[in-house]
Chains A and B, each alone.
Chain A
Amino acid sequence: MSAAIETEGLTKDFSVGFWRPRPYRALDHLTLKVEAGEVFGFLGPNGAGKSTTLKLLMQLLYPTSGEARILGRPAGDAAVRQRVGFLAENPYYYDYLTAEELLAYFARLFGFRGADVDTRVARVLDEVGIGKERRLRLRRFSKGMTQRVGLAQALLNDPEVLFLDEPMSGLDPLGRRHVRDLILGLRAKGCTVFFSSHILSDAETLCSRVGVLVQGKLVASGPLSEILAFELKGWEVVVACGPQLHAELATFARTVTPLSDGHVLLHLAPDAEPDRVVGELTRRGAHIVSINPVRETLEDYFVQVVGATAGRDTSGAGA
């Protein structure tokens, strides 16, 4: 497999302050490789440098140092733009053009002509779920509808590499499901997808690999299967029982939490032998509502990594 996206020491400094400008490092020596056909999730808290990275890859920003290559060519190369799609965060287009006109305009910029333009425009609008609104001027579009138009324009040229900056932003649950299915469909077709997000459940569903960016630095990256070792962290058992049994529950579990519906949630240790505990509880008259293993989620991992980085920086600053 060849790398679809490669960065080597990619760094971006901005100048902040009007009277006494001082440099602010938004991205710090990012070295990254995304293989062709991967769905790569670029995660990080707000202000971590995710959008800056995407803009550097699309050459909307010029790097202070380092380099980026897409499909083996320098980022920003005209031939590369022909083969990639990009959706900006909170996209905005022209108020007085309709969705159809905007997409026909962009399709012509890709070099498509005549009936091919109309066919492509109709196809991508169908793909993102825009129906009769396609002939409305974009100024009348809601945030979610504009986001869909943004996705449609990113798909116009059947891109080999697709860059999406917060693609789920502004979408309702149905829209999010739609976009998730769309990305999965693209993955099945072999398209490389590089998307930034702070919605971790989406990343968990879609990504083969993730990178975590904190304060401009890549603090972790790797396949999701390695990052989330799927280590068992314990068991959650929900039981229904009479009040006389409540006092005894603590002897079976690490924590006991009464739930609003009258049931009780027990957290068992990973080595607690759930069969034995369930059998014992049943024998004493409890009814088992559910039992689930607890494993590490991407959110746990994210909180752990971001927290550790923030803590290191705080202690470093204090030293």
Chain B
Amino acid sequence: MRTIWIVAGAAFKESVRDRVPYTMVVFAVLMMAASYLISELTAGQDLKIIKDLGLAAMSVFGLVIAVFIGIGLVSKEVERKSVFGLLTKPVTRAQFILGKYLGLVTTLAVNLSVMTVAYYGVLFYMNGMATEAMRAGWPVPATDPRLLVAVVLIMGELAVVTAIALMFSTFSSPLLSAMLTLGLWVSGHFNGDLRQFEQVVDQPAVAWIARGLYYVLPNLAPFNVKAEVVYGMPVSASHVGFTLLYALTYIAALLVAAVAIFRRRDFR
């Protein structure tokens, strides 16, 4: 376990010094510009829009980081041959994969935490600038702690996406890995439709395939509770619990596959 954490620590250090800080700066600038512009242009809806925009930005920037650093951590190491230095030390290939994954998930968690702080900072500022009458008109408080439920589920989704990116990067090029991961991310958000497919097709074989795909492809829709938390609608603890349990199971399966593929690989 110590070896996995050592690899994770180095992967974290490397990725934090790479592109993540710039992404965070872009995110912060975007948030500030958006909050300023929207508060100038809209009346009454500005808080809801900022809440929506902030959570959406966390998802999108998080996805970019998860995909592009996720694929880079393994496939670029293989491509640039830096993997030779590591795999000739007392490190198994499984430890390498798990360490890289933990390092990137830690990077994402730190990144998301910073974005969350910036997000709450803007909401706190909005709250401070609003009059008592405006605050009374809001259906939910500006700095509603339930927004954190959405952030936790965004983190869960990003952890799944990172595992997908890592798995693809164990056997394909960085570009192909990125395309495949983004493809799965998109299909993951429409996965629920596959379940209803048998109601719209007559052929049992097609319905059977659709059902099979429903179980194999990631189901990412349950991770999206942004609308619920923005409108102050309840998100049950069981939904959060089961969704995170699903994430853990799916990640475990992906990492087992990634290790199995990586173990058999030749590094030319």
The chain A residues found within 8 Å of chain B, CB to CB, are 14, 55, 58, 60-62, 78, 81-82, 84, 86, 88, 90-97, 101, 105-106, 108-111, 137, 150, 153
Least Cβ distance of A71 to chain B in Å? 14
A97 and B267 form a contact (CB under 8 A)? no
A-B pairs with beta carbons under 8 Å apart, 30 shown:
A58-B88, A60-B87, A60-B88, A60-B267, A62-B264, A78-B90, A78-B92, A81-B88, A81-B91, A82-B90, A88-B88, A91-B81, A91-B84, A92-B81, A97-B10, A97-B13, A97-B14, A97-B17, A101-B13, A105-B6, A105-B9, A105-B10, A109-B89, A109-B90, A109-B91, A110-B89, A110-B90, A111-B90, A150-B85, A153-B85
Query: Which residues of the partner chain B approach A105 to less than 8 Å between Cβ atoms?
Result: 6, 9-10
* With contact pairs A91-B85, A92-B81 given, residues A61 and B268 touching in the complex (Cβ less than 8 Å): yes
Query: Which residues of the partner chain B approach A58 to less than 8 Å between Cβ atoms?
Result: 84, 87-88
Query: Which residues of the partner chain A approach B10 to less than 8 Å between Cβ atoms?
Result: 94, 97, 105
Partner of B14, one of A82, A84, A91, A94: A94
Query: Which residues of the partner chain A approach B86 to less than 8 Å between Cβ atoms?
Result: 106, 109
A81 to B89, CA, bound (A): 6
Query: Which residues of the partner chain B approach A150 to less than 8 Å between Cβ atoms?
Result: 85
Query: Which residues of the partner chain B approach A106 to less than 8 Å between Cβ atoms?
Result: 85-86, 89
Least Cβ distance of B93 to chain A in Å? 10
* With contact pairs A92-B81, A94-B82 given, residues A109 and B14 touching in the complex (Cβ less than 8 Å): no
B18 and A96 form a contact (CB under 8 A)? yes
Q: Which of B90, B264, B268: most chain A CB closer than 10 A?
A: B90
Query: Which residues of the partner chain A approach B45 to less than 8 Å between Cβ atoms?
Result: none
* With contact pairs A62-B266, A109-B6 given, residues A81 and B84 touching in the complex (Cβ less than 8 Å): no
CB-based nearest B residue for A14: B268
Q: Which of A14, A78, A94: most chain B CB closer than 10 A?
A: A94
CB-based nearest A residue for B88: A86
Query: Which residues of the partner chain B approach A109 to less than 8 Å between Cβ atoms?
Result: 3, 6-7, 86, 89-91
Least Cβ distance of B81 to chain A in Å? 5
Query: Which residues of the partner chain A approach B17 to less than 8 Å between Cβ atoms?
Result: 96-97, 137
